Amino acid sequence: MVALLAATANAHAQEFTTQVLLVAPFETDGAPRLARQLERGTRARLARVAFRRELRVVGSDTIEAALRYAGFRDDVRLGEGDAMLLSRLFRADELVIGAVQTKGGIIEVRAQVMLPRDRRLRQPLPVIRAATTALAADTLAQHVTRARVQMVGLRRCENAVGVDDLPRATKAAEAAVALYPRSTLARTCLTVALRQSGADPDSVNKVADAVLAIDSLNIIAAVVRARSLAQQKSGAAVDAWDRVVRLRPDSLDLAIAGVEELLRMQEAARAVDACRLLAEVHRGEMRVRRLAFRGYIALSRWKDAAALGDSLDYEDTAFRSDSSYAIRHIEALRLSADTLSALSKSARSVKEYPGDLSIYLQYVQLVKGEGLAVFPRGLALFPGSSDLHVLAAREAVAAGKKREALASLEHAVLADTALTQGFLQMAELWLGEQQPDSAIAVIARAPRAGPRSELLRTYAIARGRQMIRETPDTAFVIWRRALNLFSIADSVDSRDDTRGLIAASNLQLARGALVVASKSRDCPNATRASDALGVTAAMLELGVGDGESAGQLRQAYDGMRPIAETAIKRFCPATPP
């Protein structure tokens, strides 16, 4: 004990004001006299070894007198809450609480040091098993004294964190842990300092795990660990946040933060279970009910979401004032087969949120059976909405009003130039109106990059092939249209298939032009054939694949090239240099 006191003296050079230590009456199951003897013995031993300028231990007589004055019996046993009230009476900085019982003639003591200023800060002490009360008291006093060597380092760490001097805080906490390796108090401050300084998450987790290995109920370490794991995007973050909620369901703000994290990590089932636990502790708490509603939505539990949404819509102002909740509530009603309620709620929401486009779009979807009358109202409110114009176009097509549909789609693609589907729908309508050139012009305006570019490419190829199916070689206009479509597809992503189509189409053009040139003996068709073969040569050079069809293309080109050259010589007079 003398060596321990010397180490304490070195570690605790007078730096802070004198601390007050209170050993509260221990809880016990059937041994109040033994517990009282243990308390008295522990207080006496701590008072003997304490340095008076640094620590004052509240005496047994003082504590018992205060309890008698408050109307308690001498053998009263205090729970943690009452012990905290007693510590405030004596303005204690440190509080020792515990429980004592006897097993087969052996005294067993489980105790911990708490800091009344923050009930989350506590240092569990090793379990004591002793044959006599005196030995148990002596051992407990030694454990408390050993645990206290971290207190100076803890206060230094807390003060440094308070002024954002995180390196000094880390150094002070590490020094305190070195003095008392079982430390949870100094380690807790260390986890906070490391987390706030942006230290490597693995380092933070290592310290937090060390705290939780000694004190599994340490909520600060549990929260820091959960946040650090979430930063690492570790799968263990889910269990860590669930643990936080279950450790302190009484701390509403903290528990809600934990449930929010579970929802963010798409663990809706765990979030709903946590909400059920919180609802038992905080009955009628609207924030918990709103989180449960979000969980039901994420789980597609539409009937539960609809029922809870109905209740919140009636009772919760925050729920009613947020249009995002209204949208989800309406969707839950619709998907739970309560279409009439969904339509009614949707109509009310349009009035309650007159400037919310999403609410109006949802309303449009629900009332589309109303016909086209709904769209003029929507477009008057949201003239720049591409989604609303697309919906109006669909309704116009269904009504056989293709020109109105084209006008709506034109507005849609002007509002959103990346709307590939809108351009293709316009092209289909123009083709249905027997206006292929207008269709090709629209396709040429479609965006050639982005997530829907492959759709544009596929569509252009399919439409080009459809145009030239069973088309004669001399139908030059149709071949040119198909070539325009193949060129658009190739400009999206040049591959063997589009280059092969361009090469084959130009060979057909050249063949038709040579046939006409041989009959009319004119230069323009001979030149057309030569130009088309030039494009074919370029495509062959870029590559059209290695299969049988590629060989046929090269063979056809080799056979046609001399014929075209002869036609040029015969039908086109030489141009003077």
Name the residue ranges covered by the structural domains of the chain. Answer: 2-155, 300-366, 370-434, 448-577
**Residue 107: phi, psi to the nearest 5?**
-85, 130
Per-residue pLDDT, averaged over 32-43, amounts to: 89
Please name which of 130, 138, 165, 121 lies closest in space to residue 48, comparing C-alpha atoms: 138
Per DSSP bridges, beta strands 128-130 and 27-28 are: unpaired
Q: Does 12 have pLDDT greater than 50?
A: no
Q: Say which residues have a Cβ less than 8 Å from residue 83's Cβ, sequence separation at least 6.
A: 24, 25, 95, 97
Cα–Cα dist 543/545, whole Å: 6
State the burial class of residue 252 (Cβ atoms within 10 Å of its Cβ: 0-12, 13-18, 19+). middle
Q: How confident is the model at residue 574 (pLDDT cuts 50, 70, 90)?
A: low
What is the per-residue pLDDT for 398? Answer: 65
pLDDT-wise least confident of 8-12, 138-142, 391-395, 437-441: 8-12
What is the per-residue pLDDT for 14? Answer: 62
Cα atoms in the Cβ-side hemisphere of radius 13 Å centred on 249: 16
What is the per-residue pLDDT for 63? Answer: 85
pLDDT-wise least confident of 196-205, 298-307, 388-397, 463-472: 388-397
What is the per-residue pLDDT for 495? Answer: 87
Cα–Cα dist 55/574, whole Å: 116
What is the per-residue pLDDT for 393? Answer: 66
- Lookup: tokens for 76: 């009263």
pLDDT-wise least confident of 1-5, 155-159, 310-314, 454-458: 1-5
pLDDT-wise least confident of 129-133, 138-142, 279-283, 431-435: 431-435
CATH architecture of 370-434: Alpha Horseshoe (1.25)
Query: Strand, coil or helix: what is 102?
Result: strand
Per-residue pLDDT, averaged over 168-191, amounts to: 93
Instruction: Dump the DSSP string for 493-535.
Output: S--HHHHHHHHHHHHHHHHHHHHHHHHH--HHHHHHHHHHHHH
- Which superfamily does CATH assign the domain made up of 2-155 to? TolB, N-terminal domain (3.40.50.10070)
b/e 542-568 (16+ beta carbons within 10 angstroms → b): eebeeeeebeebeebbeebbebbeebb
Q: What is the mean pLDDT of the chain?
A: 85
Query: Strand, coil or helix: what is 109?
Result: strand
Say how many C-beta atoms besides its own lie within 10 A of residue 363's C-beta: 22
Per-residue pLDDT, averaged over 74-98, amounts to: 85
Q: How confident is the model at residue 124 (pLDDT cuts 50, 70, 90)?
A: very high
- Residue-wise pLDDT for 431-459, tens only, equals 888 888 888 888 888 888 888 888 888 88
